[in-house]
């Protein structure tokens, strides 16, 4: 089980044009996206937490917000670029470089909260990416978690797994290899899988993978949760209540 579990609010990546049938009220402040990176097992486990409230830059207003930044530790370097749309959907982008001298298993998570809903939801998710030989040794390898490279959660309840048994490899100096896109219920017309009737507005993602030493993996994708229109009006819950939940 992951040492960090996060919940991430509702947003959409600008690369995916999703027309939401419900228009929620604009927000005065950008919700913080809280993230974590962990790796190893047993006594070799390590982990770090970081947030857009402390690192990087945030821009936008009303219903669309953009986030970008980077941070580094002994184990890895991480950079991010996200788009949060309150109407709603989470678009995410990450780049991870393995700074260790051996292949490591990583779990990257992100969470945010936006207004909740009580009249039904539709959902979908996607992920794609690339692998690059950034230590110039002529080889690079990425393996996604067998059950899914991407796992999504709504209100801390597992919803979708995307990209089973993903493998990407490079066999020449400074080479790159693309993987995906992998999708579940998300197409050009938006999300198509029925979700929970009621949500508090916590949306979260986990990206789990192993990465060869000195190399870099990049991920882009989206977890979109569309709120079904309510007859005769909107049924918002927790419009101005923002927070986060973590569990170990």
pLDDT for the residue numbered 25: 58
pLDDT at 11 over 60: no
Using a CB cutoff of 8 Å and minimum separation of 24, what contacts does 188-192 make? 188/17, 190/18, 190/19, 190/20, 190/122, 190/124, 190/224, 190/226, 191/18, 191/122, 191/123, 191/124, 191/224, 191/225, 191/226, 192/122, 192/124
> What's the rounded Cα separation, in Å, for the pair 43 and 225?
37
With a pLDDT cut of 70, the percent of the chain lying above it is 82
**How do residues 17-44 score in pLDDT, each as one tens digit?**
333 444 555 777 889 999 999 999 889 9
Higher pLDDT, 145 or 238: 145
pLDDT at 229 over 50: yes
Label residue 85 by pLDDT band (50, 70, 90): confident
Mean pLDDT of 141-159: 96
pLDDT for the residue numbered 222: 95
**Summary mean pLDDT of the chain:** 84
| Domain locations in the chain as residue ranges | 34-229
pLDDT for the residue numbered 62: 82
Label residue 230 by pLDDT band (50, 70, 90): low
> What's the rounded Cα separation, in Å, for the pair 117 and 107?
29
- Name which of 15, 162, 173, 179 is nearest 81 in CA terms: 15
pLDDT for the residue numbered 116: 86
Residue found by looking up tokens 């040794």 in the block = 137
pLDDT for the residue numbered 24: 55
């Amino acid at each position: 089980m992951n040492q960090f579990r996060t919940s991430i609010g509702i947003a959409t990546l600008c690369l995916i044009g999703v027309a939401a049938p419900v228009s929620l009220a604009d927000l005065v402040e950008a919700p913080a996206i809280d993230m974590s990176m962990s790796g190893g097992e047993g006594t070799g486990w390590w982990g770090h937490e970081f947030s857009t409230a402390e690192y990087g830059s945030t821009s936008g207003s009303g219903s669309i917000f953009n986030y970008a930044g980077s941070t580094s530790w002994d184990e890895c370097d991480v950079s991010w670029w996200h788009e949060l749309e309150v109407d709603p959907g989470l678009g995410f982008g990450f780049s991870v470089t393995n700074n260790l001298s051996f292949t490591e298993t990583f779990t990257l998570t992100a969470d945010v909260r936006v207004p909740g809903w009580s009249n039904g939801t539709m959902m979908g998710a996607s992920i794609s990416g690339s692998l690059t030989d950034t230590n110039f040794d002529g080889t690079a390898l990425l393996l996604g978690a067998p059950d899914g490279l991407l796992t999504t959660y709504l209100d801390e309840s597992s919803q979708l797994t995307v990209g089973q048994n993903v493998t990407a490899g490079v066999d020449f100096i400074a080479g790159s290899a693309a993987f995906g896109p992998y999708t579940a219920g998300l197409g050009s017309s938006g999300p198509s899988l029925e979700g929970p009737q009621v949500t508090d507005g916590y949306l979260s993602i986990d990206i789990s993978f192993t990465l060869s030493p000195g190399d870099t993996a990049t991920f882009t994708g989206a977890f979109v949760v569309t709120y079904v229109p309510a007859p005769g009006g909107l049924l918002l819950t927790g419009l101005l209540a923002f927070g986060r939940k973590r569990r170990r």
